[in-house]
Amino acid sequence: MNLTNSINNFNEAKQVIVGGVNSPVRAFGAVSGTPRFIKRGEGAYIYDEDDNKYIDFVQSWGPLIFGHCHKDIESHILRALKNGTSFGAPTELETALAKEIIAVYENIDKVRLVNSGTEATMSAIRLARGFSGKDDIIKFEGCYHGHSDSLLVSAGSGCATFGSPSSLGVPHDLSRHTLVARYNDIDSVRSCFEESANKGSGVGCVIIEPIAGNMGLVPADKEFLYSLRKLCNEFGAVLIFDEVMSGFRASLKGALGFYDVLPDMVTFGKVIGAGLPLAAFGGRDEIMNLLSPLGGVYQAGTLSGNPLAVSAGLCALLTLKQNPKIYSHLEFLAKRLLEGFKAASQQANIPIQTNVCGSMFGFFFCSHEVRNFEDAKRADNLLFAKFHEKMLAKGVYLACSQFETGFICTPMTEKDIDSAINAANESLCEIAQGI
């Protein structure tokens, strides 16, 4: 595969953009080879600057449930563009989008639109703290909620549940308000609540990806989410479901399509912007009405509710609502893909674990079940790196880390899935033979 242009583009970018990329995961740090510089996308495919074609299972990390250059979304964006790119004043479109989100999520009375998932979770946490009057928060190891200071925290050493900064520049004073629990382990959550209560501050909110997609794909156990809801009620903490990835992706109702547990607040991103910068957070009136200008919790944004992004998102949500069968079809394709990966692994005598949640899929090269981040870290990353490189060379674009989720989009066909399975067969066979 000729990669001359991508290699040259990357070298040039490194001169002027830190690490050559505007978001670290794009740098291919966890795998080998060079990041592909993408020239264009069309439906299920992307084309790099050397005109190599790939089936795209990344889909911009989730937003593109309709694939690249979907005609209706394009025309909605173009129509909005003709009226102006931004006004910094309210538009009817924003109300229409808010209504669509609220109509699907029964526990949400109001939303606020923002520009990124990071903003959505950061603002939701501030609001939850303002509502509960308590400073501590609980997050889960392996869940990612964007890059705000309170959330760039990982588990402390030993038995400590209070976290330590996972990035330079995050003050220890702040990270000590973030407690880190183990995913799918309710006892670890109770310990966090109790430790916080003992230290006096108390837990204002718990934030969780109910379908975790940032340690690979690891769905929460039903019983665990149910118990988490009960613990939040017991300790008076706001429960936030971070559905930036899973919202309108795993099912029309996101996690609510799989679990009978209602959070107090939900954060959205990705699909609701259909590839443009848009995210949101929402909740019950009693919480949301504390937000500025009605209440004392401040949050704002020059480009929030941008008309191009809102038009794209509105088109996506309306199309999804009008065609609910999309989800079962995408899940059928995801299951077919993962069954194929499983069979290929068995053939090559390489252990694999797979998960599918609607149009989201994940796999780990390991023989043990993966229920939390510790389990995920014990999967074979070296093997994944080899697999990733071989799949790329065969025209299959997978996320460049085992701790990411893959996505199916509507233009994908069974033929696309089968050619990805063939590529997996060949790749794993080569790996087994030491090639």
Ligand X SMILES: Cc1ncc(COP(=O)(O)O)c(C=O)c1O
Residue from 144, 183, 259, 397 carrying the catalytic annotation: 144
- How far apart CA 221 and CA 213 sit, in angstroms, is 14
Relative orientation angle of helices 222-235 and 186-199, to the nearest 10 degrees: 20
Q: Which residue is nearest to ligand X (CB)?
A: 117
Q: Is the dihedral of CA 112, 116, 117, 121 positive or negative?
A: negative
Task: Please confirm, yes or no, whether 298 is among the known catalytic residues.
Answer: no
351 preceded by a cis bond (ω within 30 of 0):
no
Tell me if 283 contacts ligand X by CB under 6 A: no
CB closer to ligand X, 108 vs 279: 279
> Which one of 209, 331, 375, 416 is in contact with ligand X (CB under 6 A)?
209
> Which one of 116, 319, 354, 372 is in contact with ligand X (CB under 6 A)?
116
CB closer to ligand X, 62 vs 204: 62
The residue type found at 394 is: K
Rounded to a whole number of angstroms, the minimum distance from the CB of residue 407 to ligand X is: 11
> Which one of 242, 331, 375, 416 is in contact with ligand X (CB under 6 A)?
242
Task: Please confirm, yes or no, whether 144 is among the known catalytic residues.
Answer: yes
**Per-residue x/- track, 120-159, ligand X (CB under 6 A):** -x----------------------xxx-------------
| Burial group, residue 106, by CB count within 10 angstroms (0-12, 13-18, 19+) | exposed
Tell me if 118 contacts ligand X by CB under 6 A: yes
Place of tokens 């949500």: 317
Rounded to a whole number of angstroms, the minimum distance from the CB of residue 63 to ligand X is: 9
> Which one of 179, 181, 245, 287 is in contact with ligand X (CB under 6 A)?
245
CB closer to ligand X, 231 vs 272: 272
Residue from 242, 264, 375, 416 carrying the catalytic annotation: 242
Q: Is the dihedral of CA 63, 66, 71, 76 positive or negative?
A: negative
> Which one of 57, 61, 140, 248 is in contact with ligand X (CB under 6 A)?
61
Task: Please confirm, yes or no, whether 99 is among the known catalytic residues.
Answer: no
> Which one of 91, 214, 353, 402 is in contact with ligand X (CB under 6 A)?
214
Nearest to 431 by CA among 337, 356, 355, 351: 351
- How far apart CA 74 and CA 62 sit, in angstroms, is 18
| Number of residues binding to ligand X, judged by CB under 6 A | 16
Long-range contacts of the stretch 412-417 (C-beta < 8 A, 24+): 412/44, 412/55, 412/67, 412/333, 413/44, 414/333, 414/336, 416/44, 416/55, 417/333, 417/336, 417/337, 417/340
**Per-residue x/- track, 158-197, ligand X (CB under 6 A):** ----------------------------------------
- How far apart CA 250 and CA 359 sit, in angstroms, is 6
* Pairing status of strand 279-283 against strand 211-212: unpaired
154, containing H or E segment: strand 153-154
> Which one of 43, 130, 247, 269 is in contact with ligand X (CB under 6 A)?
269
CB closer to ligand X, 18 vs 160: 18
Which residues are annotated as catalytic?
144, 242, 270
Binding site for ligand X (CB under 6 A): 61, 116-118, 121, 144-146, 209, 213-214, 242, 244-245, 269, 279
